[in-house]
Amino acid sequence: MPDTSTEQFPTSPRGAQRARRHAVRWLEERGWVPASDVSCAAALVIGELAANAVQHGRVAGREFGLRLVLDRAAGLLRVEVADAASARQLPTAAPASYPEGESGRGLLLVDTLAVRWGSVPRAPVGKTVWAELALESSTRPDEQSADLLTARTGQ
């Protein structure tokens, strides 16, 4: 049975930061230390999706939602960020970005870190952008802290 968390956050930069921190704490409670690949990837993906919800999905008086689904059997962490803004066109692919551009790299990062990602309309209004991240298969979560300590101390 998958383990889930569903939270609402203010549609502000502070809300995006709180969503990212919530996910890192939630994963730590389940055995993935903050410096683990899963936790770092989740923080980056959530940071990007939440920033997009804040910048492009902001509706006065509405929050954005974060849903995390940990499915150990499938080896996946599913991240869903939902906002209340209606989009004429949902994101379907990472946009091409130029090196001198100031934005547009967020979905490229999501595309790189996720096994797969996409977006769906949300009823009655808005959209949900989701990404699925692979859990490490070579190291159990409780071994990661020992591996990290070994890497830091060289012992």
- When pLDDT is averaged across residues 48-56 and rounded to a whole number, the result is 90
What gap in Å lies between CA 1 and CA 33, rounded to an integer?
22
Residue with the bigger pLDDT between 115 and 153: it is: 115
Residue with the bigger pLDDT between 31 and 94: it is: 31
CB count in 10 Å sphere of residue 152: 9
Q: What tens digit of pLDDT does each residue of 84-136 get?
A: 877 655 565 555 555 555 556 788 889 999 999 999 988 888 899 999 999 97
Residue-level pLDDT at 56: 78
- Cα 12–chain centre separation: 16
Question: What would the two tokens of residue 58 be?
Answer: 């902001």
Q: What is the mean pLDDT of the chain?
A: 82
Residue with the bigger pLDDT between 94 and 9: it is: 9
Residue-level pLDDT at 125: 82
User: Which residue bears the tokens 């899963």?
Assistant: 38
The angle subtended at Cα 105 by Cα 33 and Cα 137, nearest 5°, is 30
At residue 155 the predicted structure's pLDDT band, cuts being 50, 70 and 90, is: very low
